[in-house]
Structure 1
Amino acid sequence: MAVEKSKEKRDRREIVLDAAAIQFARRGYDATTMRDIAKECGILPGSLYYHFESKEEMFLAVHERAINYIVSGALLQINPDADPWTRLCQASEGYLATMLSRSTEASLIITEFPLRRNGKLRAKLIADRERFENVFKDIVAELPLAPGVDRTYWRLALLGMLAWTYIWFNSKGISPKVVAQNLINLLKERTASD
Protein backbone atom coordinates (compact mmCIF):
# COMPACT_ATOMS: atom_id res chain seq x y z
CA MET A 1 0.00 0.00 0.00
CA ALA A 2 2.85 2.41 0.82
CA VAL A 3 4.42 1.73 -2.58
CA GLU A 4 1.16 2.62 -4.33
CA LYS A 5 0.86 5.89 -2.37
CA SER A 6 4.48 6.75 -3.18
CA LYS A 7 3.89 6.05 -6.89
CA GLU A 8 0.66 8.06 -6.84
CA LYS A 9 2.45 10.99 -5.18
CA ARG A 10 5.25 10.77 -7.78
CA ASP A 11 2.70 10.62 -10.61
CA ARG A 12 0.87 13.69 -9.29
CA ARG A 13 4.15 15.52 -8.91
CA GLU A 14 4.97 14.74 -12.56
CA ILE A 15 1.55 16.02 -13.62
CA VAL A 16 2.25 19.25 -11.74
CA LEU A 17 5.70 19.52 -13.32
CA ASP A 18 4.24 18.96 -16.79
CA ALA A 19 1.64 21.67 -16.20
CA ALA A 20 4.26 24.03 -14.79
CA ALA A 21 6.54 23.43 -17.79
CA ILE A 22 3.70 24.29 -20.16
CA GLN A 23 2.83 27.48 -18.30
CA PHE A 24 6.44 28.61 -17.84
CA ALA A 25 7.09 27.98 -21.55
CA ARG A 26 3.93 29.81 -22.58
CA ARG A 27 4.11 32.80 -20.22
CA GLY A 28 7.65 32.88 -18.85
CA TYR A 29 8.63 32.56 -15.22
CA ASP A 30 7.64 36.07 -14.15
CA ALA A 31 4.16 36.07 -15.69
CA THR A 32 3.21 32.55 -14.59
CA THR A 33 1.19 32.29 -11.40
CA MET A 34 0.50 29.32 -9.17
CA ARG A 35 -3.15 29.70 -10.20
CA ASP A 36 -2.15 29.29 -13.87
CA ILE A 37 -0.31 26.08 -13.04
CA ALA A 38 -3.12 24.75 -10.87
CA LYS A 39 -5.66 25.45 -13.62
CA GLU A 40 -3.42 23.70 -16.18
CA CYS A 41 -3.31 20.51 -14.11
CA GLY A 42 -6.89 20.73 -12.85
CA ILE A 43 -6.30 21.10 -9.12
CA LEU A 44 -6.85 23.78 -6.52
CA PRO A 45 -3.98 26.31 -6.23
CA GLY A 46 -3.36 25.42 -2.59
CA SER A 47 -2.80 21.77 -3.56
CA LEU A 48 0.37 22.75 -5.42
CA TYR A 49 2.03 23.52 -2.10
CA TYR A 50 1.77 19.86 -1.17
CA HIS A 51 4.37 19.19 -3.87
CA PHE A 52 6.39 22.43 -3.91
CA GLU A 53 6.95 25.17 -1.36
CA SER A 54 7.02 27.95 -3.95
CA LYS A 55 6.86 28.85 -7.62
CA GLU A 56 10.64 29.21 -7.56
CA GLU A 57 11.11 25.67 -6.25
CA MET A 58 8.72 24.38 -8.92
CA PHE A 59 10.57 26.24 -11.66
CA LEU A 60 13.89 24.85 -10.45
CA ALA A 61 12.47 21.32 -10.64
CA VAL A 62 11.11 21.92 -14.16
CA HIS A 63 14.41 23.42 -15.32
CA GLU A 64 16.49 20.62 -13.81
CA ARG A 65 14.25 18.02 -15.44
CA ALA A 66 14.69 19.76 -18.81
CA ILE A 67 18.47 19.86 -18.40
CA ASN A 68 18.47 16.18 -17.42
CA TYR A 69 16.60 15.27 -20.62
CA ILE A 70 19.01 17.21 -22.77
CA VAL A 71 22.19 16.03 -21.04
CA SER A 72 20.98 12.42 -21.25
CA GLY A 73 20.08 12.87 -24.92
CA ALA A 74 23.56 14.17 -25.71
CA LEU A 75 25.40 11.56 -23.64
CA LEU A 76 23.43 8.61 -25.02
CA GLN A 77 24.62 9.38 -28.54
CA ILE A 78 28.33 9.55 -27.73
CA ASN A 79 30.58 6.63 -28.58
CA PRO A 80 33.47 7.11 -26.13
CA ASP A 81 35.85 5.30 -28.50
CA ALA A 82 35.21 7.67 -31.41
CA ASP A 83 37.49 10.55 -32.36
CA PRO A 84 36.67 14.01 -30.91
CA TRP A 85 35.00 15.35 -34.09
CA THR A 86 32.72 12.31 -34.26
CA ARG A 87 31.90 12.57 -30.55
CA LEU A 88 31.10 16.25 -30.98
CA CYS A 89 28.73 15.46 -33.86
CA GLN A 90 27.13 12.70 -31.81
CA ALA A 91 26.66 14.92 -28.75
CA SER A 92 25.28 17.73 -30.92
CA GLU A 93 22.88 15.38 -32.68
CA GLY A 94 21.69 13.95 -29.36
CA TYR A 95 21.23 17.45 -27.97
CA LEU A 96 19.25 18.63 -31.00
CA ALA A 97 17.10 15.50 -31.24
CA THR A 98 16.18 15.72 -27.56
CA MET A 99 15.63 19.47 -27.61
CA LEU A 100 13.50 19.38 -30.74
CA SER A 101 11.37 16.51 -29.48
CA ARG A 102 10.80 18.27 -26.14
CA SER A 103 10.00 21.79 -27.29
CA THR A 104 8.36 22.84 -24.02
CA GLU A 105 11.48 22.03 -22.00
CA ALA A 106 13.74 23.47 -24.69
CA SER A 107 11.99 26.81 -24.59
CA LEU A 108 12.56 27.02 -20.83
CA ILE A 109 16.27 26.49 -21.19
CA ILE A 110 16.61 28.89 -24.11
CA THR A 111 14.45 31.75 -22.84
CA GLU A 112 14.96 31.80 -19.08
CA PHE A 113 18.35 33.42 -18.60
CA PRO A 114 20.09 33.08 -15.23
CA LEU A 115 21.34 36.66 -15.35
CA ARG A 116 17.75 37.92 -14.99
CA ARG A 117 17.44 36.09 -11.67
CA ASN A 118 18.84 36.53 -8.16
CA GLY A 119 20.06 34.33 -5.36
CA LYS A 120 19.29 30.64 -5.21
CA LEU A 121 17.38 30.64 -8.50
CA ARG A 122 20.24 32.22 -10.42
CA ALA A 123 22.86 29.93 -8.86
CA LYS A 124 20.85 26.79 -9.68
CA LEU A 125 20.14 27.83 -13.27
CA ILE A 126 23.84 28.51 -13.81
CA ALA A 127 24.80 25.17 -12.25
CA ASP A 128 22.32 23.35 -14.51
CA ARG A 129 23.67 25.07 -17.62
CA GLU A 130 27.27 24.36 -16.61
CA ARG A 131 26.45 20.69 -16.19
CA PHE A 132 25.10 20.66 -19.73
CA GLU A 133 27.96 22.72 -21.18
CA ASN A 134 30.57 20.46 -19.56
CA VAL A 135 29.50 17.64 -21.88
CA PHE A 136 30.71 19.79 -24.78
CA LYS A 137 33.59 21.41 -22.92
CA ASP A 138 35.32 18.07 -22.46
CA ILE A 139 34.97 17.16 -26.13
CA VAL A 140 36.02 20.58 -27.47
CA ALA A 141 39.14 20.40 -25.27
CA GLU A 142 40.26 17.39 -27.33
CA LEU A 143 39.57 18.84 -30.81
CA PRO A 144 42.57 19.42 -33.07
CA LEU A 145 41.96 23.14 -33.49
CA ALA A 146 44.45 25.56 -34.98
CA PRO A 147 46.79 27.29 -32.53
CA GLY A 148 45.31 30.48 -31.14
CA VAL A 149 41.68 29.34 -31.43
CA ASP A 150 39.90 30.18 -28.19
CA ARG A 151 38.12 26.96 -27.27
CA THR A 152 35.69 28.71 -24.95
CA TYR A 153 34.43 31.03 -27.69
CA TRP A 154 34.42 28.14 -30.16
CA ARG A 155 32.28 26.00 -27.83
CA LEU A 156 29.91 28.86 -27.00
CA ALA A 157 29.50 29.67 -30.69
CA LEU A 158 28.53 26.07 -31.42
CA LEU A 159 26.17 25.84 -28.46
CA GLY A 160 24.53 29.12 -29.47
CA MET A 161 23.97 27.89 -33.01
CA LEU A 162 22.59 24.58 -31.75
CA ALA A 163 20.29 26.25 -29.21
CA TRP A 164 18.67 28.61 -31.68
CA THR A 165 17.91 25.71 -34.02
CA TYR A 166 14.86 25.39 -31.79
CA ILE A 167 13.52 28.64 -33.31
CA TRP A 168 13.93 27.88 -37.01
CA PHE A 169 14.01 24.09 -37.34
CA ASN A 170 11.50 22.50 -39.67
CA SER A 171 11.64 18.72 -39.63
CA LYS A 172 10.59 18.33 -43.25
CA GLY A 173 13.49 16.83 -45.14
CA ILE A 174 16.29 17.49 -42.67
CA SER A 175 17.36 15.62 -39.56
CA PRO A 176 19.01 16.83 -36.36
CA LYS A 177 22.09 14.85 -37.44
CA VAL A 178 22.40 16.83 -40.68
CA VAL A 179 21.87 20.14 -38.87
CA ALA A 180 24.49 19.24 -36.24
CA GLN A 181 27.05 18.19 -38.87
CA ASN A 182 26.51 21.32 -40.95
CA LEU A 183 26.83 23.67 -37.98
CA ILE A 184 29.98 21.94 -36.75
CA ASN A 185 31.45 22.03 -40.26
CA LEU A 186 30.92 25.80 -40.42
CA LEU A 187 33.23 26.19 -37.43
CA LYS A 188 35.54 23.30 -38.28
CA GLU A 189 36.45 24.59 -41.76
CA ARG A 190 37.78 27.84 -40.29
CA THR A 191 39.47 26.56 -37.16
CA ALA A 192 40.69 22.97 -37.52
CA SER A 193 44.43 22.40 -37.68
CA ASP A 194 45.75 20.64 -40.76
Structure 2
Amino acid sequence: MANVKSRVRENPATKPKADASAKPQGPIGREAVLDAAIHQFSIAGYDGTTMREIASVSGMLVGSIYYYFSSKEQLFLAAHEHAIEHICAAVRKSIDPAADPWTRLTQAAQGYLESMLNDYEYASIIISEFPRRRADELRDVLISHRQRFEDLFADIISEIPLRKGVDRSYFRLAVLGMLAWTYTWYNPKGRDSPRVIAKKMVSMLREANS
Protein backbone atom coordinates (compact mmCIF):
# COMPACT_ATOMS: atom_id res chain seq x y z
CA MET A 1 0.00 0.00 0.00
CA ALA A 2 2.10 2.87 -1.31
CA ASN A 3 2.15 6.28 0.32
CA VAL A 4 -0.50 5.41 2.87
CA LYS A 5 0.43 8.22 5.25
CA SER A 6 -0.35 10.86 2.66
CA ARG A 7 -3.79 9.38 2.18
CA VAL A 8 -4.86 9.06 5.81
CA ARG A 9 -8.27 10.58 6.45
CA GLU A 10 -8.68 13.38 8.93
CA ASN A 11 -9.22 12.07 12.44
CA PRO A 12 -12.92 12.63 13.32
CA ALA A 13 -11.93 13.44 16.89
CA THR A 14 -9.97 16.48 15.71
CA LYS A 15 -12.80 17.88 13.62
CA PRO A 16 -14.55 20.94 15.04
CA LYS A 17 -18.03 20.31 16.32
CA ALA A 18 -20.86 21.38 14.08
CA ASP A 19 -22.82 24.48 15.01
CA ALA A 20 -25.39 23.11 17.41
CA SER A 21 -27.73 25.97 16.48
CA ALA A 22 -28.01 24.69 12.92
CA LYS A 23 -31.55 23.57 12.11
CA PRO A 24 -32.22 20.76 9.64
CA GLN A 25 -34.47 21.20 6.67
CA GLY A 26 -37.73 19.29 6.39
CA PRO A 27 -40.25 18.01 8.92
CA ILE A 28 -39.23 17.32 12.49
CA GLY A 29 -39.85 13.80 13.74
CA ARG A 30 -38.24 10.45 14.46
CA GLU A 31 -36.16 10.46 11.26
CA ALA A 32 -34.86 13.95 12.06
CA VAL A 33 -33.83 12.78 15.52
CA LEU A 34 -32.01 9.76 14.05
CA ASP A 35 -30.19 11.92 11.50
CA ALA A 36 -29.19 14.41 14.19
CA ALA A 37 -28.04 11.58 16.48
CA ILE A 38 -25.93 9.96 13.76
CA HIS A 39 -24.40 13.36 13.01
CA GLN A 40 -23.48 14.02 16.64
CA PHE A 41 -22.35 10.49 17.42
CA SER A 42 -20.07 10.56 14.36
CA ILE A 43 -18.41 13.71 15.71
CA ALA A 44 -18.10 13.05 19.42
CA GLY A 45 -18.91 9.36 19.84
CA TYR A 46 -21.50 7.87 22.15
CA ASP A 47 -19.83 8.97 25.39
CA GLY A 48 -19.13 12.51 24.20
CA THR A 49 -22.62 13.25 22.88
CA THR A 50 -25.46 14.64 24.98
CA MET A 51 -29.18 14.51 24.36
CA ARG A 52 -29.21 18.30 24.51
CA GLU A 53 -26.79 18.50 21.57
CA ILE A 54 -28.89 16.07 19.56
CA ALA A 55 -32.02 18.05 20.36
CA SER A 56 -30.39 21.29 19.26
CA VAL A 57 -29.24 19.85 15.92
CA SER A 58 -32.62 18.23 15.25
CA GLY A 59 -34.48 21.41 16.09
CA MET A 60 -36.45 19.78 18.89
CA LEU A 61 -36.72 20.37 22.60
CA VAL A 62 -34.90 17.78 24.69
CA GLY A 63 -38.16 16.60 26.19
CA SER A 64 -39.59 15.99 22.72
CA ILE A 65 -36.85 13.48 21.92
CA TYR A 66 -37.96 11.34 24.84
CA TYR A 67 -41.31 10.95 23.09
CA TYR A 68 -39.48 8.77 20.55
CA PHE A 69 -36.62 7.36 22.64
CA SER A 70 -36.60 6.67 26.37
CA SER A 71 -32.83 7.20 26.79
CA LYS A 72 -29.61 8.06 24.99
CA GLU A 73 -28.81 4.36 24.91
CA GLN A 74 -32.06 3.56 23.10
CA LEU A 75 -31.47 6.42 20.68
CA PHE A 76 -27.96 5.18 20.01
CA LEU A 77 -29.22 1.66 19.29
CA ALA A 78 -31.79 3.02 16.86
CA ALA A 79 -29.20 5.24 15.16
CA HIS A 80 -26.73 2.34 14.91
CA GLU A 81 -29.41 0.10 13.38
CA HIS A 82 -30.43 2.89 10.99
CA ALA A 83 -26.80 3.25 9.84
CA ILE A 84 -26.40 -0.52 9.42
CA GLU A 85 -29.56 -0.75 7.34
CA HIS A 86 -28.37 2.17 5.20
CA ILE A 87 -25.17 0.31 4.32
CA CYS A 88 -26.94 -3.05 3.93
CA ALA A 89 -29.35 -1.46 1.46
CA ALA A 90 -26.41 -0.16 -0.59
CA VAL A 91 -24.82 -3.63 -0.64
CA ARG A 92 -28.06 -5.39 -1.62
CA LYS A 93 -28.70 -2.86 -4.38
CA SER A 94 -25.25 -3.51 -5.86
CA ILE A 95 -25.61 -7.28 -6.12
CA ASP A 96 -26.87 -9.05 -9.24
CA PRO A 97 -28.40 -12.31 -7.91
CA ALA A 98 -27.80 -13.98 -11.28
CA ALA A 99 -24.04 -13.30 -11.27
CA ASP A 100 -21.40 -15.84 -10.27
CA PRO A 101 -20.18 -15.77 -6.62
CA TRP A 102 -16.90 -13.94 -7.27
CA THR A 103 -18.75 -11.25 -9.25
CA ARG A 104 -21.33 -10.92 -6.49
CA LEU A 105 -18.55 -10.58 -3.91
CA THR A 106 -17.02 -7.79 -5.99
CA GLN A 107 -20.39 -6.09 -6.31
CA ALA A 108 -21.07 -6.40 -2.57
CA ALA A 109 -17.64 -4.97 -1.80
CA GLN A 110 -18.25 -2.08 -4.18
CA GLY A 111 -21.62 -1.28 -2.62
CA TYR A 112 -20.06 -1.42 0.83
CA LEU A 113 -17.12 0.85 0.06
CA GLU A 114 -19.21 3.35 -1.88
CA SER A 115 -21.63 3.65 1.02
CA MET A 116 -18.96 3.67 3.72
CA LEU A 117 -16.55 6.09 2.07
CA ASN A 118 -19.12 8.45 0.57
CA ASP A 119 -21.51 8.53 3.56
CA TYR A 120 -19.01 9.31 6.29
CA GLU A 121 -21.43 9.76 9.17
CA TYR A 122 -23.23 6.44 8.68
CA ALA A 123 -19.93 4.56 8.57
CA SER A 124 -18.43 6.40 11.53
CA ILE A 125 -21.10 5.40 14.01
CA ILE A 126 -20.54 1.74 13.08
CA ILE A 127 -16.76 1.62 12.77
CA SER A 128 -15.78 3.89 15.67
CA GLU A 129 -18.12 2.35 18.25
CA PHE A 130 -16.81 -1.03 19.37
CA PRO A 131 -19.53 -3.25 20.91
CA ARG A 132 -17.16 -4.86 23.41
CA ARG A 133 -16.65 -1.53 25.16
CA ARG A 134 -20.31 -1.49 26.15
CA ALA A 135 -22.44 -3.23 28.76
CA ASP A 136 -23.51 -6.76 27.85
CA GLU A 137 -27.08 -5.89 26.86
CA LEU A 138 -26.05 -2.99 24.65
CA ARG A 139 -23.14 -4.96 23.21
CA ASP A 140 -25.33 -7.91 22.24
CA VAL A 141 -27.76 -5.69 20.32
CA LEU A 142 -24.95 -3.90 18.48
CA ILE A 143 -23.42 -7.23 17.49
CA SER A 144 -26.81 -8.46 16.24
CA HIS A 145 -27.05 -5.35 14.04
CA ARG A 146 -23.61 -5.99 12.57
CA GLN A 147 -24.44 -9.64 12.00
CA ARG A 148 -27.12 -8.63 9.48
CA PHE A 149 -24.44 -6.90 7.44
CA GLU A 150 -21.89 -9.69 7.76
CA ASP A 151 -24.48 -12.26 6.71
CA LEU A 152 -24.74 -10.57 3.31
CA PHE A 153 -21.09 -11.44 2.71
CA ALA A 154 -21.24 -14.81 4.44
CA ASP A 155 -24.00 -15.97 2.09
CA ILE A 156 -21.90 -15.09 -0.96
CA ILE A 157 -18.68 -16.51 0.44
CA SER A 158 -20.42 -19.81 1.19
CA GLU A 159 -20.76 -20.29 -2.59
CA ILE A 160 -17.28 -19.19 -3.66
CA PRO A 161 -15.04 -22.03 -4.92
CA LEU A 162 -12.13 -21.61 -2.50
CA ARG A 163 -9.05 -23.81 -2.42
CA LYS A 164 -9.25 -26.93 -0.28
CA GLY A 165 -8.41 -26.22 3.33
CA VAL A 166 -9.34 -22.53 3.27
CA ASP A 167 -11.44 -21.68 6.32
CA ARG A 168 -14.45 -19.70 5.07
CA SER A 169 -14.96 -18.01 8.43
CA TYR A 170 -11.44 -16.60 8.37
CA PHE A 171 -11.80 -15.75 4.69
CA ARG A 172 -14.95 -13.75 5.50
CA LEU A 173 -13.20 -11.94 8.36
CA ALA A 174 -10.26 -11.17 6.07
CA VAL A 175 -12.55 -9.72 3.40
CA LEU A 176 -14.51 -7.57 5.83
CA GLY A 177 -11.40 -6.44 7.70
CA MET A 178 -9.63 -5.47 4.50
CA LEU A 179 -12.61 -3.49 3.27
CA ALA A 180 -13.27 -1.80 6.62
CA TRP A 181 -9.65 -0.69 6.95
CA THR A 182 -9.99 1.51 3.86
CA TYR A 183 -11.97 3.86 6.09
CA THR A 184 -8.74 4.85 7.85
CA TRP A 185 -6.63 5.61 4.79
CA TYR A 186 -8.96 6.39 1.89
CA ASN A 187 -8.45 9.78 0.28
CA PRO A 188 -11.25 11.08 -1.99
CA LYS A 189 -8.56 12.79 -4.07
CA GLY A 190 -6.53 9.61 -4.41
CA ARG A 191 -6.05 7.72 -7.65
CA ASP A 192 -8.75 5.08 -7.15
CA SER A 193 -12.48 5.37 -6.49
CA PRO A 194 -14.22 3.15 -3.92
CA ARG A 195 -15.47 0.92 -6.75
CA VAL A 196 -11.99 0.46 -8.17
CA ILE A 197 -10.50 -0.23 -4.74
CA ALA A 198 -13.13 -2.89 -4.03
CA LYS A 199 -12.58 -4.54 -7.39
CA LYS A 200 -8.80 -4.66 -6.94
CA MET A 201 -9.07 -6.10 -3.44
CA VAL A 202 -11.42 -8.90 -4.45
CA SER A 203 -9.30 -9.60 -7.54
CA MET A 204 -6.24 -10.11 -5.33
CA LEU A 205 -8.14 -12.59 -3.19
CA ARG A 206 -9.42 -14.40 -6.24
CA GLU A 207 -5.95 -14.69 -7.76
CA ALA A 208 -4.61 -16.02 -4.43
CA ASN A 209 -7.25 -18.77 -4.53
CA SER A 210 -6.87 -19.72 -8.17
Q: TM-score normalised to the size of structure 1? A: 0.88
Q: In 1, distance between residues paired with 2:42 and 2:58?
A: 15
2:190 pairs with 1:187 = no
2:124 pairs with 1:115 = no
Cα RMSD (Å) of the superposition? 1.5
Q: In 2, distance between residues paired with 1:168 and 1:91?
A: 20
Q: In 1, distance between residues paired with 2:84 and 2:74?
A: 15
What does residue range 7-46 of structure 1 map to in structure 2 within 5 Å?
Answer: 11-46=28-63
Shift of 1:43: 2.8
In structure 2, list runs of 5 or more residues that go unmatched. Answer: 1-26
Counterpart pick for 1:56 among 55, 63, 73: 73
Superposed CA deviations along residues 120-159 of structure 1, whole A, max 9, x for unmatched, are 3211111111110000001111111111111111111111
Counterpart pick for 2:95 among 65, 72, 78: 78
Counterpart pick for 1:174 among 192, 198, 205: 192
Structure number with the higher helix fraction is 1
Q: TM-score normalised to the size of structure 2? A: 0.82
In the alignment, what sits opposite 1:3?
none
Q: In 2, distance between residues paired with 1:167 and 1:41?
A: 28
Q: In 2, distance between residues paired with 1:171 and 1:39?
A: 30
Superposed CA deviations along residues 103-125 of structure 1, whole A, max 9, x for unmatched, are 10101110111111123321111
Shift of 1:11: 4.3
Determine what percentage of the aligned residue pairs are the same residue: 55
Q: In 1, distance between residues paired with 2:83 and 2:59?
A: 22
2:145 partner SS? helix
Amino acid at match of 2:41: F
The structure 1 segments of at least 4 consecutive aligned residues displaced by more than 3 Å after TM superposition are none
Q: In 2, distance between residues paired with 1:162 and 1:52?
A: 33
